[in-house]
Structure 1
């Protein structure tokens, strides 16, 4: 009988996942890929941010791994994720603004900033909490540089 609540909880979680997946199943593969890439950014930033805010105990190995992941993600060629006609005005389920395609030079400049900031974080994340905290502001600013102009704001 103790397993019944567990099974019910797992069934609810599975159903919720399926409903969420179905809602996004009509998205083009490129949009799904870029959203997955952004989720990987968010996961690793969550680890680093949690440590920087001291909501998570600092762990040099985990910080180094998250920072290395960010640096690797920033280096990946993302050009196939951004075909024209996949902005939030053209399809439902994305927050990419049309400005991405009208100001691609600005996007590339923002991308270079993320590459530099994530590499800098990767260099120091394992060197202690103070070093990690010092690298968080430039990393956050690099993320914000793109989000401010090229991503629909949260409601």
Structure 2
């Protein structure tokens, strides 16, 4: 029975080499990329409302803003292990500057947390309040991306 299992495992490894390489990627990189996807999803809702590409909906705006608020507080230092920058591994846009300037990265992250709190307090109020909070939120995102994310 053991040799049959070993043969199946070997056949799977040969047939699906991408599975073996996927296991080599630090799971924290996947976690931070998923976090960024969730930021983008919720920002997309708020941005579409702010730009009148979708009707303003106080409940949806409040939900998206509250999600951003909690997401900005859920990121963990574990998601940013040394050696997971764009110069060290494939599949990430995190620049080495993050680890070279962790204090600056932390300041940008704190600015994001502040901006998400402002948005959370504004988004469900009315469209004008949501629009007013978009500038600081966009600036917080942009500042970090400009310094710490590789362009596409």
Q: Any stretches of 5+ residues in structure 1 without a counterpart?
A: 1-20
Match of 1:129 among 117, 127, 151: 127
Q: Distance in 2 between matches of 1:144 and 1:92?
A: 23
Please list, as runs of the form range in 1=range in 2, the aligned pairs for 1:1-155 lying within 5 A after superposition.
25=22, 26-154=24-152
**TM superposition shift of 1:77:** 3.9
**TM superposition shift of 1:80:** 0.5
**TM superposition shift of 1:93:** 0.3
**TM superposition shift of 1:88:** 0.4
Q: Any stretches of 5+ residues in structure 2 without a counterpart?
A: 1-17
**TM superposition shift of 1:73:** 0.6
8 Å Cα contact 1:124-1:135 kept in structure 2: yes
What are the Cα deviations for residues 116-144 of structure 1, in whole angstroms up to 9, with x where unaligned?
00000000101111110000000000001
**TM superposition shift of 1:70:** 0.3
Which protein has the larger Cα radius of gyration, Structure 1 or Structure 2?
2
Question: What is the TM-score when the length of structure 2 is the normalising length?
Answer: 0.84
8 Å Cα contact 1:27-1:93 kept in structure 2: no
Question: What is the TM-score when the length of structure 1 is the normalising length?
Answer: 0.82
8 Å Cα contact 1:47-1:66 kept in structure 2: yes
Q: Distance in 2 between matches of 1:57 and 1:145?
A: 28
Q: Tell me the number of residue pairs that the alignment of Structure 1 and Structure 2 aligns.
A: 133
Q: Distance in 1 between matches of 2:116 and 2:87?
A: 30
Structure 1 runs (4+) deviating above 2 angstroms are 24-27
8 Å Cα contact 1:30-1:81 kept in structure 2: yes
